[in-house]
Structure 1
Amino acid sequence: MRGRDPDEEHRASTPLELLFDLTFVVAISQAAAELHHALAEGHTGAALPGYAAVFFAIWWAWVNFTWFASAYDTDDVPYRLLTLLQMAGVLVLAAGVKPAFTHGDFAVVVVGYVIMRVAMVTQWLRAAAEHPQGRGAAVRYAVGIIVVQAGWIARLWTPESWAWVTFVVLVAAELAVPAWAEFRGRTTRWHPGHIAERYGLFTIIVLGEVILASLAAVRSAVSEGGLSAGLLMIVVGGLLLVFSLWWLYFTGPEVTLPCLKTALAWGYGHYVIFAAIAALGAGLEVALGAAEHHAHLSARGAALTVAVPVVIVLVALGVLHRLTGTGAVGHELLVAGGALVVLALGFAAPGLGVGGAVLGMGLAVAATLAANLLAICRRTATAV
């Protein structure tokens, strides 16, 4: 385990990494399903903090593996077996999503993390033993992970009144570990192109969850009442949203991460993108239920469960892609304008109907995409 070459050409995701990603499909679907049920019952205020906390646990587990694999993926027998152990931990974490979301009980999630962290610390200690040049950072990662994990275990016995305070403190500690480990000395040998690709592939996985959730809701609605005009508009609008957001993300030159600071901003910013895209799937399910009068929400409330995640994704993509000079972001004002139109359509749902509002959102994001692509073409032509 000497460390991969950070300048390696054609560095792509391995079959093991792709298999590892698939285990997170289960956890993400569980979190999105819980969010859908809570929103449909009108428990928005209570649902959002729980969803944000649960999704952080899912996302951070994926981030830890992804960055280590970018630097030290040897793909030998010990590495594969330890990755298998981490996958088992992900499944345990997924089993704990419901109690964590509904009751704030993170006991099962913490057990899943312990399983994953045992494997992760073993990997870092192996890297420290076999790669002298990266020993300092590897040891700091191992120590940081152990200390913060001990904090999560101790949190299980803290008073309920301190639950959110301790959660925020431990989240801050988790996010600080990579910065502390990497900035103190020689950085690990992560591959900029590989990291960018891994985040892109996970974005596709989360978009796939949106499509899968929408399909389940449509199938249920059609089996009960047939295909109505409102239902059809939501389906078309949802597909436009998914495809337009995908196009906004995957446009232009490949993402380059020239330094660790940019890489961390890019990586941490994707928490917002991943969580909001998964929430979009839950929102589309709520909108489909409202169109069939199965949700305990007003038309405006149902439409906003779609509009708000879309706005968050647009703003986050605008910030991150301007940071890296990629994506279909011709101008920040175009992205901001599209986000405002989407939000306005959400508030206008009582007049437009839920179906009309969601279809309008899809058309608005598609128009935002077209305007940004036109701005990019004009800028490129002027530069030439």
Structure 2
Amino acid sequence: MPPARIPVRVRMGARPVDEPHRASSQLELLFDLTFVVAIAAATAQLAHAIADGHALAGLVPFLQVFFAIWWAWMNFTWFASAYDTDDVPYRLLTMVQMAGVLVLAAGVPAAAAGSDYRIVTLGYLVMRFGLVAQWLRAAVEHREGRRTALRYAAGIAVVQVGWGLRLLLSEAGALSPSAGTACFAALVVAELTVPRWAERTGGTAWHPHHIAERYGLFTIILLGESVLAATRGVEGALEAAEISGSLVTVALSGLVLLFALWWLYFLVPAGEGLSGRRHRSFLWGYGHYGVFAALAALGAGLEVAVEQTGHGAQASPQAICYAVAIPVGVFLTLLWLVHAPVVAEPVVRPALLLGCVAVVLLLPLAAPSTGVAAVVAAIAAACVLLTALAIALASRRADHDLGEVSGPPGS
């Protein structure tokens, strides 16, 4: 069988929004893998902050770095859904963005430890440069979408100037920490505004099922990062002590918890929902920042929860349990909120979900008397129960719908 030929150049145009069997390309999968490195670095730094008893201080750098990771991934994902040509120029510009991700990952420890964002900003600018070049190419080759593409390129480029100025002012000592945080928030708002502004002249031809698959794959990556983080915690615990009942309990409970969250996420038919409600895609897409950040933060919490079974952490048992409970609560709440605009009927009833969230957030209060292992096990049990109820309700609903379609016996 002859090897597949890679086209040297294909005229860039909008891909059909109803293209059958649209799936992630090999290049997109490789692109995702580069983000594994950056997410792992950010999660590890947050875990160190939690273990040292400085969870709140470590949260701000984590959320800032994770925004850069998520936003660069999301922008590429939606662009690729509309304009992926998979030719040589497209591949090369995508690889430029991958290089930027790796540069950003290299700068995460300095950003978390000393608020040194030089390398992180450089990596982010490299990623965004690659995307601006892609939009400019789309503007040249796709006449129907030229105005939208030029707006994207101009908007992204202008905001990158803002990031560069922020870095220069920080290096010159002209920005206090509070002013730097305010400047960061303003630039984040500017970044989020660019797509809304650009698409006023016409929307891009993204594929709903392809987008749903891409978000699902990124969710799996984050769940895998949580498994990796918990594994690091096991290694740290075993270096300090032998296998104990608490270690086994926390490790197994963490794994069961991740399985339950995975099950809950994929119960929601996002592709069909996005197909029928394209105008609500911004709420769905932007809301996933919290969903993804919660999963990444959960990995850090599980790492500390496992590791503390081998040696005492500076953080209190209650703080460690909240480092697990809060991300779980945020994930469950946002999972419902982001899918509500695109799904006709929620898979998990809001009352059940919010009840589970309340239980999860109350459980760490028992940590001083029961210990971390018991609380993590209880959190996992609550999520498993929620998953079981959601599956049962979804099955009952499917049987009811099937009965309505087929009609009564003899009809």
TM-score (norm 2): 0.90
- Show CA shifts across 1:230-254 (max 9, x none): 1111011101110000000112535
1:13 counterpart SS class: coil
Who is 1:160 aligned against? 175
Change (3 A) 1:204 1:326: farther
Per the TM alignment, residue 328 of structure 1 is displaced from its structure 2 partner at its CA by: 7.3
Per the TM alignment, residue 379 of structure 1 is displaced from its structure 2 partner at its CA by: 3.6
Amino acid of the residue matched to residue 371 of structure 2?
Answer: G
Quick one: percent identity of the two aligned structures?
A: 52
Are the aligned partners of 1:321 and 1:329 in contact in 2 as well (CA < 8 Å)?
no
Are the aligned partners of 2:268 and 2:347 in contact in 1 as well (CA < 8 Å)?
no
Amino acid of the residue matched to residue 333 of structure 2?
Answer: V
Who is 2:369 aligned against? 351
Who is 2:115 aligned against? 104
- Show CA shifts across 1:191-242 (max 9, x none): 1111111001000000000011111211332243121111111011101110
Amino acid of the residue matched to residue 175 of structure 1?
Answer: L
Who is 2:342 aligned against? 324
Who is 2:409 aligned against? none
Which residue, out of 322, 333, 338, partners 1:304? Answer: 322
Who is 2:408 aligned against? none
Deviates more, 1:23-32 or 1:100-109: 100-109
Which residue, out of 152, 155, 173, partners 1:141? Answer: 152
- Which runs of structure 2 are paired with 1:189-228 in the superposition (5 Å)? 189-228=205-244
Amino acid of the residue matched to residue 338 of structure 2?
Answer: L
Q: Measure, in 2, the Cα distance between the counterparts of 1:89 and 1:242.
A: 30
Who is 1:177 aligned against? 194
Who is 2:264 aligned against? 248
Runs of 4+ in 1 over 4 A off after TM superposition: none
Are the aligned partners of 1:277 and 1:309 in contact in 2 as well (CA < 8 Å)?
yes
Are the aligned partners of 2:121 and 2:163 in contact in 1 as well (CA < 8 Å)?
yes
Q: How many residues align?
A: 383
Which residue, out of 95, 98, 115, partners 2:126? Answer: 115
1:324 counterpart SS class: coil
Q: Which runs of 5+ in 2 are unaligned?
A: 1-11, 405-411
Q: Measure, in 1, the Cα distance between the counterparts of 2:396 and 2:23.
A: 32
Who is 2:135 aligned against? 124
Q: Measure, in 2, the Cα distance between the counterparts of 1:254 and 1:118.
A: 31
Deviates more, 1:62-71 or 1:369-378: 369-378
- Show CA shifts across 1:67-105 (max 9, x none): 111111000000011111111111111111122222222
Amino acid of the residue matched to residue 40 of structure 1?
Answer: A
1:227 counterpart SS class: coil
Who is 2:61 aligned against? 50
Are the aligned partners of 1:328 and 1:369 in contact in 2 as well (CA < 8 Å)?
no
Deviates more, 1:256-265 or 1:152-161: 256-265
User: Are 1:362 and 2:380 matched, yes or no?
Assistant: yes
Amino acid of the residue matched to residue 232 of structure 1?
Answer: V
Amino acid of the residue matched to residue 75 of structure 1?
Answer: D
Per the TM alignment, residue 372 of structure 1 is displaced from its structure 2 partner at its CA by: 2.1
2:168 counterpart SS class: coil
Q: Measure, in 2, the Cα distance between the counterparts of 1:247 and 1:213.
A: 20
Amino acid of the residue matched to residue 142 of structure 1?
Answer: A
Q: Which runs of 5+ in 1 are unaligned?
A: none
Per the TM alignment, residue 330 of structure 1 is displaced from its structure 2 partner at its CA by: 2.6
Per the TM alignment, residue 381 of structure 1 is displaced from its structure 2 partner at its CA by: 4.0
Per the TM alignment, residue 326 of structure 1 is displaced from its structure 2 partner at its CA by: 8.0
